[in-house]
Copies of this chain bind each other. A is one copy, B any other.
Amino acid sequence: MSFELTKPVLARIYADVAEGRDSAVLALLNELHASDIGRLIDRLPLEEAVYVYRLLGQEESAEVLVELEEDRREDLLASLTSREIAEDVGHIDSDDAADLMADMPEDKQREVIALIDDAEQREDIQELLTYPEGTAGALMAKELISVHADDSVGRAIVDMRQQAQDLDHIYTIYVVDKEERLHGILRFQDLLFSAKSIRSVIKDICDTNVVSVNVDTDVEEVVKLMKKYDVVVLPVVDKENRLVGRITFDDVMDVMTEEAEEDYQLASGISEDVDATDSPLVQIRARLPWLLIGLAGGILSSQIIARFEDELRIDPKMAFFMPLIAATAGNVGIQSSAIVVQGLASGMLEGVNVLSRLWKEIRVAVVTALVCGLLIFGLNLALHQSQALTYTVSLALFTVILTAAIFGTLIPLALDKLKVDPALATGPFVTTLNDIFGLLTYFTLGHLMYGLFQ
């Protein structure tokens, strides 16, 4: 089970594929889990990838499709006929099928949907495609098991047996009323092990204390609820509280990973969802805008420093400590913002006063600023720097640490209020602002100090 797609293994498969040794390739594919086959197809050149894909049985090829990396999947789908795609999406869960379809051009989408044999699957996919991305509706699957509250246990078991045929995993049995409104859940234990007769009525043995979400609920809210209530699967209802789908933990895992990646990318100055496998062009598009913002900031900095050219002529040593001031301001700002961003993400800052948050941050900053300021003061004394420079550098360092901490705390809180992702505050944009503000502080203080001491 723990097969690793190492370079020698890949080379062997590649040789087998190149020389058309189908039976050798198939023998290997049989050993592999769908996700491993997906990884393999991701790595092969497109032509070989399509070849391997077509060797797979129908059930398996559908599963592999779900596991592929996005770019590779798009290329592969473009190489398959609408009929082939329709057969594949007919064999996977409705949520995965809808995800696959969502990336296709609309005319191809229509063509494929029309070719799906199973009427129920066709309607399910069409329904799922109507929900906007980022909602519970777009994340949910239609496959679920539900029984009627007024039915007997015996009748429900007959019902369930029929529904269970389409399902890989059954996590929960839902109980609905006559209007298909969500009434409760039924635990397996209660069915299997209860001493109650098969004539008991479902509503008497089910648990009505059930957490559900609406089709419009934001996926981030879905993640929070699943974490909070430790549930594997959440039922999704429509406006009338009718049960329309379920969201399982594995979809939520993907959302969590994406969210974490998004925050990390924002903090690293990458604007789109790119990864190591994307083409250079995609990467440039995602990265260059941030660098240009940084560049604009650098140009603005140069203009600010230009105003202090006289100070630099009086003492070129002023230039020595510019990087120290700018970098420290940037570092402190990112730390302060990161703590707020994580606090917002985890819900820990819920119900916490902005002022009390700021007051804690200021206490941290004052101690930090004192330590750093005194260190640099001592160092400059030891190096026999001029009084003006010594005071300028240490006072500026103290000031920028304090202001960067305040900005770093307030900016993500403000972004959050404005419904902008607060993680933006840990990216290059705010660092650039802190750089500029830091240098302005430094040279203004320098102007004052050189006036005082000389």
Which residues of A pack against B, CB within 8 Å?
A: 1, 4-7, 10, 33, 35, 39, 43, 69, 157, 160-161, 164, 167, 169-171, 187-189, 191-193, 211, 226-230, 232, 249-250, 253, 256-257, 260-261, 263-265, 267-270, 274-277, 280, 283-284, 287-288, 290-292, 294-295, 297-299, 301-303, 305-306, 309, 312-313, 316-328, 331-332, 334-335, 337-343, 346-353, 357, 360, 363-364, 367-368, 371-372, 375-376, 379, 401, 426, 428, 431-432, 435, 439
Q: How far is the CA of A193 from the CA of B227 in the complex (A)?
A: 31
Nearest 5 pairs of A and B residues by beta carbon: A298-B324, A276-B343, A268-B338, A260-B260, A312-B316
Shortest A273–chain B CB gap in Å is 10
Residue among B268, B335, B350, B371 making CB contact with A269, cutoff 8 Å = B335
Q: A5, B312: Cβ atoms under 8 Å?
A: no
Residue among B193, B287, B327, B342 making CB contact with A275, cutoff 8 Å: B342
Chain B residues, Cβ within 8 Å of A274: 339
* Contact across chains for A360 and B280 when beta carbons are under 8 A apart: yes
* Residues of the B chain whose Cβ atoms lie less than 8 Å from the Cβ of A283: 339, 360, 364
Shortest Cβ distance from residue A178 to the other chain B in the assembled complex, whole angstroms: 23
Residue contact B7 to A351, C-beta cutoff 8 Å = yes
Give the chain B neighbours of A4 by CB distance below 8 A.
Answer: 350
Closest to A253 in B: B227
Closest to A325 in B: B298
Does the CB pair A1–B211 fall under 8 Å? Answer: yes
Q: Count chain B CB atoms within 10 A of each CB in A191, A306, A322 and give the residue with the most.
A: A322
A247–B317 Cα gap in the complex (Å)?
Answer: 60
**Contacts of A348 on B, CB cut-off 8 Å?**
69, 275-277
Verify B33–A229 contact, CB threshold 8 A. yes
- Bound state CA distance, A429 and B38, in angstroms? 37
With both beta carbons as reference points, the residue of chain B lying nearest to A286 in the complex is identified as B335
Complexed CA–CA distance, A137 and B202 (Å): 39
Chain B's nearest CB lies how many Å from the CB of A47? 19
How far, in whole Å, are A250 and B227 apart by their CA atoms in the complex? Answer: 7
Q: A264 vs B267: C-alpha distance in the bound complex, in angstroms?
A: 8
State in angstroms the CA–CA spacing of A167 and B343 once bound together.
33
Is the CB–CB distance between B232 and A169 below 8 Å?
yes
Give A363 Cβ to nearest chain B Cβ, in Å. Answer: 4
Q: Is the CB of A268 within 8 A of B267?
A: yes
Residues B170 and A189 in contact, CB atoms below 8 Å apart:
yes
Which residue of A277, A324, A348, A426 has the most chain B CB atoms within 10 A of its CB atom? A324
A275, B323: Cβ atoms closer than 8 Å: no
A299 to B379, CA, bound (A): 9
A257: chain B residues within 8 A (beta carbon):
227, 256, 260, 346
List chain B residues, Cβ under 8 A from A301: 320, 323-324, 327
